Structures are given as structure tokens and as C-alpha cells.
Structure 1
Amino acid sequence: MATIEDVARRAGLSRTTVSRVINEHPYVSIAKKKKVMEAMEELGYVPNSAARSLRNQRTGVIAVLIPRVMNPFFSQLIETLEHAASESFHQLIICQTQYSAKKELMYLNLLKTRQVDGVILTSAENDWSVIEEYLDYGPIVLCNEFEERANVPMIFMNQKEAGYKATKHLIEMGHRKIAYCCGRYRSNVANAREEGFKKALAEAGIAFDEIDAFREAITSEDGIDIFNGIRSRGSNRPTAIFTGSDEVAAGIISEAARCNWNIPRDLAVTGFDNQVITELMNPRITTVEQPVCEMALKTMEVMMERIRLRQFTGREMHKFSMKLIIRESTKMQAELARIPY
């Protein structure tokens, strides 16, 4: 079994330097860290996490709270977070809240009982005044979520811009009656998207009708129900719909095909996240692309810094831009040939 001395010899560095890398000492160059990590991988050396936690009073574990593991956006986010945590000699545990405020508090208690070093919160189910109390026990980083009252790091995409640009695209396609669909009605993310949606309508002089709002839509089954609700309205129906999920958009499109509707001629549909399913559907789905990997890497970078410094409060904003990917669910094939991606 390889020892720390073996790693030092393989890396051509001192035992002290290797120890500093393993214990996340701040004053070690990136080049030396890379040499140590490569040597550890080659030798199959695994640091003694129990000994490290005793010395540092840390667990080496970070919890990430997500609402649904099955949502492809969160699956992709977790994959990048886990890789980044591993690179920093930490483990990631995944806590699925299923949008339950009670479950969220149960997992936040892992911080209070010192079972994790920090918590990454991707969707807040409790009021911030409740969550804030847990900052007495360790760092909380918001990723994909944001809260105006929070005095913590926030890493998120410009959701208002996304709602605005996707809706403006539908308006440019000639639609005047556009439905709005969101996941969690009271979430800050959904509210920001709706602000952007309504801004685009207002600029075009289009009134927003609450009858065209579909709340709490999360799964493909919700998308099927939404389509059937639209279909039942006859001539008084929207001709386009902005959805906050590729999964919901796929449900709408699949049910439309079953009912012999033509997408986008009978109903134009936008998704959100640019997940794999958008390329597999027929027609392919116009969607908002979120920089998931970049957001995840920044989140873990910020978390590691907060753990190292034992800094549990302090506002820090990292806002990422979106990209609208235009495909056949909103434009006919002939029209697509005339626009650049």
C-alpha cells in the first residue's frame, strides 16, 4: 500500500508539500498540486480522511440539496459537482427534497450536527429567514437559486433574460397569444422567468391573460395534461407556449403528435435547459441553454474557499448568461435554414 512518502518521491516534492496539498493548504502552487494529484492517482494513494477530519475538524463531505434527481438538469449539475468535489478530496452526498420544506430542513440539520462541511442549495423550499439560521454551523451556497435577502454566495443564470428572449422569439414568429408554464410557482427562479416573459409581451403590446398560465408543471406527464387543456379550448387557445422545462415541453410535443397536431404550425413550443431530449424529439425543441457545468464548477470553487476560510456569511453574486437554441419546435425547417445558430 502506497504511503505519503511514496507520493512525495513520485512527485519529486517534500512530504510537507504533499501533506499541505492533501490538507488544502492555501499557499501551494497549482503546478505542485497537479504533481501531487497525478502521483496519488498513479500510486492509488487515498488520504486518510478520518485523520484529516480530526486535525481539521472537518468531515470532508458536502451535501447538495436538489428537488428531483430525475430532472436531467440536476443530474448534469450533480455530475460536475461530484467531479469537482473529488478533485478537492471531498465527497458529495445527494439529498433529494422532492420540493418538501420539511425534508429540506432535515437535510440542513446535517450541517447543524457537523455531519457535512457545507450545503449547496439548488432550490429553496423554506423562507430564507428559516434557512439563514443554519449559517451558524457552516457555509451555504446557492446554486441555480437566488434570494435577495441572502448574505451568502449565489451562482445562477440570468433567468429574467431567459424568459424575455425565449418569449420575444415566439413573438417574432408572429404569435400574439402565448401561454406561460413554470415549475414551482412561488420560487424566485420561476418569478424571474415570468418577469422576463411579461416584459417581452408588454414591449409588443400584448396583454397577459391568466388563463394562459400553467403553474406547478414539472414532469412530462404535466406537459401532456397542459396540451390537453389547451386543445380543449378550441379557437380560444394559445398558438405558442413558453415552458420552464425540456421535460414538460417533450410531454406537450409527444401528446400533440398523438393527436395529429403539427408542431410548430398548430402550437409552437419552447423548452428550458437544452437537455439531451431536445435533440431526440421530433421536432427538435427550441430551448434555453444554461451553462450548467460552468455554474457547478464556480459553485464548488466558492464552497471550497468558504470552508477553507471558515467564512459562513458574505454576499457574493455570480450571474451567468443564457443562450437561446432555436430548433424546429418554433420554426419550420425552411425558416431554420435562413437563421444562424
Structure 2
Amino acid sequence: MTTINDIAKMANVSRTTVSRALNNSGYVSEDVRKKIMSIVEETGYMPSVSAKSLRTKRSGVIGIILPRISTETASRLVNGINDVLSKQGFQILLTDTELQKDKEIEYIRLLKSRQVDGIILSATNINDELLQTIQDVDLPFVSLGQDFPGVTSVVYDDYAASVDVTNMLIQKGYDKIAFIGVGEEDPSVGYERKQAYLQTMAKHDLPVQDHWVETGDFSIESGYEGMKRILQNHDAQPNAVFAVTDRMAIGAMEYLKEQGYKIPEDVAVTGIGASVMSKYVSPSLTTVDYFNKEAGEEAARALLGQLQGKNTSKKIKNSYRLILRDSV
């Protein structure tokens, strides 16, 4: 079995030089680095993780807590996080809360027991128990998507994006705009996006019928059912619907098409998320791209900053863009 001493002898350098090259720390000339890495590749040498952990007092693992791993958003976030962390020699450990807020607390404690070096949490709610748990585990910590008080947070500009969506519909002549959201216990998606819609409608002196505002659970099915409730047994019919996720918007579109409505001639539809499906449904869905991969990269860089002893409490706002397609 090849050891670090063997690598040093074969490269005719010191053990310290090999260690610097492998850990990307300290000065090593480019020629020497290439020589060492070539020998490492040829011999199949693998550094001892346990030895490195003892030496650095770190596990080399970062815990990631997501509300649902199977979504496109989660995939993009993880790609961004992993791209940054893997270059620094870290591995990631993924957990899935399945949108259950109690599991967020459970997994924070579990990851602490697994001795991860830090945690990135994409939460669906903010509450006192969750904040206390974050303080109790005393680890480098980044919130992704929610603005946690006293915690470094990478957030989306949910309010501004939703104002832009509502304004865009109004400017295109839609004056009866319905809304399909999620529960307000989710501050970003549930509360901020809804308030932006309501306040923008009020600013333009446009009424909002009570039955035009529905609540779903992020799923296509809840968008379908929300649209069904909005349209059934009511005289006042909307001519547009703003759903706070692409999945719910696609569900709303499906119900509209089943009932013989033309999109966008009878009812326009918008979503948020820029999912792959949004581009290929018919008609293609107007949506908002939140640059999720870049958000994941920002969260990873913020966590690395904490591991290096930098500022541990700041808010980083990610950008977005409105994508106009055929559903409006």
C-alpha cells in the first residue's frame, strides 16, 4: 500500500511538500505539483481521511439540509454547493426533510453528531426552536433561501421578483389576477410573494376577490386544485393567475386546458423557478429564474468564509430575471 512517504521518495521531495500539494496549501512550484499529482494518479494513492481529520481537527464533510431533494431547484443548489466545496477538498452529506419542519431540527442535531464541519440549510420556515437549535450546535452555518436573524443567509429577492411579475401582467392589460401561493409559515415563498402581489394590486387600485387567492403545497396537484377552486361556482372570473412556483403554475394550466380555456387568450399564467418543464409545456410558461446554482455557490463560499474565521452574520441577496414566454 502506497504511503505519503513513498510519494515523497518517488518525487524526490519532502513529505511536507507532498502534503502541501495534496491539500493545496502553502507554496509548491507548478512543475513539482504536477509531478506529485502524476505519481499520485499512477499509484492510486488515497490520503487517509481519519489521519487528516486528526491533523486538521475537521471531518472534511459539510451537511446539507434540503426540503425536497427530488426537485430541480434542489439539484441546481447542490450542484453549485458541490462545485465550490469539492475544489476545497470537502464532501457533502445530503438530508431531505420532505417539507417537514420538525425534521429540520432533527437533521441539524444529527449532522452535529456526525461531526460535520458546517451546515447549509434550505429551510421552509423560521421559528424560535429552529433558531435555538442552530445556536446550540455552534457550527459554521448558512441559511439558503430564508433570512435567518443572526445567521449568514443567501436569499432570493422574493418581494421584488413578485412585484415584477404582477406589474408585468398589469402592464400587459390583465386586471383580474388570481394568486396561488403556499402557507405563510414559509416567510419567503409563502409570505413575501403573497404580500408583493397584494400590495402591487392595491397600488394599481385593482380589486382582489377573496376566492382569487388560494394556497397549495408546492405540488402540481395543488396548483390544479387551486385553479379549480378559483374558477368553480363564481361569477367573477380572473383573466390571469400568478402561481408562486412553476409546478403549481403547470397544474393550474392543466386544469384550464381541461376546461376549454385558451392560454393566454382567456387566462394568462405565470410561475417562478425557471424549471425545465416551464420551457417545454404548451404554451411555454412565463417564469422567474432565480439562478439557483449561483445561489448554491454563494452559500458554499459563505460557509468556507466562516471556516476561515471571517464574518459570520450577513445577508447575501441573489439576483433573478423575468423570462417572458407564451403563457402571457
Question: What's the TM-score bracket when you normalise by the shorter of the two chains?
Answer: 0.7 to 0.9
- Summarize deviations over 1:236-290 as a string: whole Å, max 9, x none: 1221111111111111112322222211112111111101001110000000001
Q: How do 1:322-337 and structure 2 match up within 5 A?
A: 322-330=320-328
* Deviates further, 201-210 or 114-123: 201-210
Counterpart in 2 of 1:145?
146
Q: Aligned-residue CA RMSD in angstroms?
A: 3.1
Counterpart in 1 of 2:98?
98
Q: How do 1:139-218 and structure 2 match up within 5 A?
A: 139-147=140-148, 150-190=149-189, 191-218=191-218
Q: How do 1:287-306 and structure 2 match up within 5 A?
A: 287-306=287-306
Q: How do 1:180-259 and structure 2 match up within 5 A?
A: 180-190=179-189, 191-259=191-259
- Cα distance in 2, alignment partners of residues 30 and 264 from structure 1: 62
Give 2:319's match in structure 1, choosing from 303, 318, 321.
321
One-letter amino acid of the counterpart of residue 107, structure 1: Y
Change (3 A) 1:165 1:48: same
Q: Is contact 1:165-1:200 (8 Å) kept?
A: no
Q: Is contact 1:7-1:39 (8 Å) kept?
A: no
One-letter amino acid of the counterpart of residue 159, structure 1: D
One-letter amino acid of the counterpart of residue 204, structure 2: A
- Summarize deviations over 1:40-63 as a string: whole Å, max 9, x none: 885554332211112222222111
- Cα distance in 2, alignment partners of residues 11 and 192 from structure 1: 58
Shift of 1:183: 2.7
One-letter amino acid of the counterpart of residue 252, structure 2: I
One-letter amino acid of the counterpart of residue 323, structure 1: R
- Cα distance in 1, alignment partners of residues 13 and 151 from structure 2: 37
The structure with more radius of gyration: 2
Change (3 A) 1:159 1:35: farther
Q: Is contact 2:159-2:195 (8 Å) kept?
A: yes
Shift of 1:227: 2.1
* Deviates further, 158-167 or 41-50: 41-50
Shift of 1:169: 0.8
SS in 2 for 1:107: helix
Q: How do 1:111-126 and structure 2 match up within 5 A?
A: 111-126=111-126
- Cα distance in 2, alignment partners of residues 188 and 210 from structure 1: 21
Q: Is contact 1:18-1:36 (8 Å) kept?
A: no
Shift of 1:99: 2.2
Q: Is contact 2:214-2:230 (8 Å) kept?
A: no
Change (3 A) 1:12 1:202: farther
Shift of 1:18: 4.5
Shift of 1:202: 2.5
1:53 and 2:20 correspond: no
Counterpart in 2 of 1:338?
none
Counterpart in 2 of 1:110?
110
Unaligned runs of 5+ in 1: 331-341
Shift of 1:23: 4.7
Q: How do 1:2-13 and structure 2 match up within 5 A?
A: 3-4=3-4
- Cα distance in 1, alignment partners of residues 285 and 259 from structure 2: 18
Change (3 A) 1:59 1:268: same
Q: Is contact 1:185-1:216 (8 Å) kept?
A: no
Aligned residues: 325
Unaligned runs of 5+ in 2: none
SS in 1 for 2:272: strand
Q: Is contact 1:223-1:248 (8 Å) kept?
A: yes
Counterpart in 1 of 2:67?
67
Q: Is contact 2:120-2:141 (8 Å) kept?
A: yes
Shift of 1:37: 10
Change (3 A) 1:241 1:40: farther
Change (3 A) 1:64 1:40: farther
Identity of aligned residues (%): 27
Q: Is contact 1:231-1:237 (8 Å) kept?
A: yes
* Deviates further, 288-297 or 204-213: 204-213
Q: Is contact 2:211-2:230 (8 Å) kept?
A: no
